Amino acid sequence: MAEFISLPDLIAGHARRTPDKPAVIQDQRVLTYAALDELVDRVAARLQMTGAPAGSSVAICAATSINYVVTFLGILRAGLAVVPLATSAAASQLQGMIRDSGARLLFLDAETAATLNTEANNLPLERIALDDSSCGHAFLQWICPPGTRPTPPPALAELPFNIIYSSGTTGLPKGIVHSHRTRFALYGLAAALGFTSASITLVSTPFYSNTTLTAVLPTLAIGGTLVLQAKFDAGRFLALAERSRTTHAMLVPAQYRRLMEHPEFDATDLSSFVCKYATSAPFPAQLKAEVVRRWPGDLIEFYGLTEGGGSSLLSAHQHPDKLHTVGQPAPGHEFRIIDENGTQVHAGEVGDIVGRSPIMSTYHKRPDATADSRWVSPEGTTFMRTGDIGRIDADGFLIIMDRRKDMIISGGFNIYPSDLEAILSQHPDVREVAVVGVPSERWGETPVAFVVAGDAALPSTNTLLRWVSERVGKTQRLSDIVWLPELPRNAIGKVLKRELRDRYGSPDDRDRKVLTNHL
């Protein structure tokens, strides 16, 4: 591995070498590397004036903006840890995450302040308004005057870079800690991932997601340009990509689908694209093939956990016969498949996926959760449990079956929702689908499909049920189909299956007759 250099130091180097180059662009505002570096200094110096010790936490909860990027980097330059919080979280969740992180400063905007309402009044927080609204100290008045320089912090390599909270839908999400050295392992691979100083990366996913940082950090590390879209809109994304001559973008599968379906897609000049990336949610093979066929540039899918513990890469344009997989382990990474007893299984067999990477992360103040996430191989190597079920094919490509918690056990048989979703996706009238298990007195659990129809007239539920039953084993037959205008998703495109389970059991659905199609 190359010699460690912190991201703040890399930014400073770009400011010296290419001071007038655009670093961050949003709408009509353009921030050069020199201007970015100067603002980052002013934020870092002001943070150090608060007396926060090195390694302590500072929280951000706001929409994507240039001020957000400046603050993120300023926190790092001050030797502090960034805690990017989900703007979609409920007030009680935000309060819990802020308490857990130990943050005493919160950068926010008016929308976040409205969400928090009175919840955060119990927290000893100083608030800084990134949008210069009345929800806190005005950002440009709070930071130090121009020309102010921070004190260089102690060696950053082992200090925490960030605490990113998991996207759990129940209870308090766990804080995932990455050190500066851990992050260097990502942006140190910028060139290998296709980034250069000429890269123009269009950012349309939120900064609190590790998905976003996977593209943002390498772009800044290598001296490229970020173009910010505060909220994703397919039409505006296409127009912005054409106008800015975008070369790179990290998108989630739901965004790819919306872009492919947009009436202006084929009329948009996307010839500037060098590479597109995808992660965070299952990416149907048919959709990958469509992106490869219709969108210039390469397509690379990432698989891995925010916690670390192994990553895989699928170069879709190079492996058109492997689009049903998530690729092969990245250099220095490894995956294995184990059974419920923790014993490694043979190649091709299905089991729990465990992975390892050169550096793995920990959970903030949760040594118990960190220990529970580990699996140690017979030769003494530590792996992380991914929570996913899958197998490795004969060529070493990883195939994801499902999340362990989403697997359905019906009448003693294991049913993988992804199998049923893949079959349903082949029906011409099915646009999107998610399959979940719901309680059944007879079978323990039984599969129910939530379907978003295509443009054609809806087939009847019984017609589609029969169509599926003709293509699956008797134990896999669906018990019901629920038609929805859209699937519920979080901000980075993951289908909220727990919400679907809860919705099926809601009062509005209690008169629904659950069919016994297993018979």
Domain parsing of the chain, residue ranges: 32-183, 298-403, 407-509
Phi, psi (rounded to 5 degrees) for 160 = -65, 135
Q: Which option is the CATH number for 32-183: 3.40.50.12280, 3.40.30.10, 3.30.70.1350, 3.40.50.980?
A: 3.40.50.980
| Rounded to 5°, angle at Cα 27 from 242 and 262 | 40
- Report the pLDDT value the prediction gives residue 244, as an integer from 0 to 100: 98
Report the chain's terminal Cα–Cα distance, integer Å.
Answer: 58
Q: Which two tokens stand for residue 491?
A: 């901000």
CATH hierarchy code of domain 298-403: 2.30.38.10
Domain 407-509: give its CATH architecture. Answer: 2-Layer Sandwich (3.30)
**How buried is residue 235: exposed, middle or buried, by Cβ count under 10 Å (0-12/13-18/19+)?**
middle
| Rounded to 5°, angle at Cα 8 from 4 and 9 | 55
- Report the pLDDT value the prediction gives residue 427, as an integer from 0 to 100: 92
Can you give the C-alpha Rg of the chain in angstroms? 24
Of residues 225, 182, 242, the one with CA closest to residue 33: 225
Of residues 221, 90, 76, the one with CA closest to residue 163: 76
CA 228 to chain centre: 17
CA quadruple 477, 481, 485, 490: dihedral sign: negative
- Same topology between domain 32-183 and domain 407-509: no
- Report which DSSP code applies to 471: T
Phi-psi region of 324 (alpha: psi -120 to 50; beta: other; left: phi over 0): alpha
At 278, which helix (H) or strand (E)? strand 275-278
- Report the pLDDT value the prediction gives residue 443, as an integer from 0 to 100: 86
Q: How far apart are alpha carbons 8 and 509 in whole angstroms? A: 53
Is residue 440 within 8 A of residue 448, CB to CB? The reply is no
Q: How far apart are alpha carbons 393 and 158 in whole angstroms? A: 37
**Residue ranges of the chain whose pLDDT lies below 50:** 1, 169-170, 507-519
| Rounded to 5°, angle at Cα 240 from 234 and 243 | 145
Distances (CA, A) of 104 to 47, 66, 177, 281: 11, 22, 18, 33
* SS3 category, 438: strand
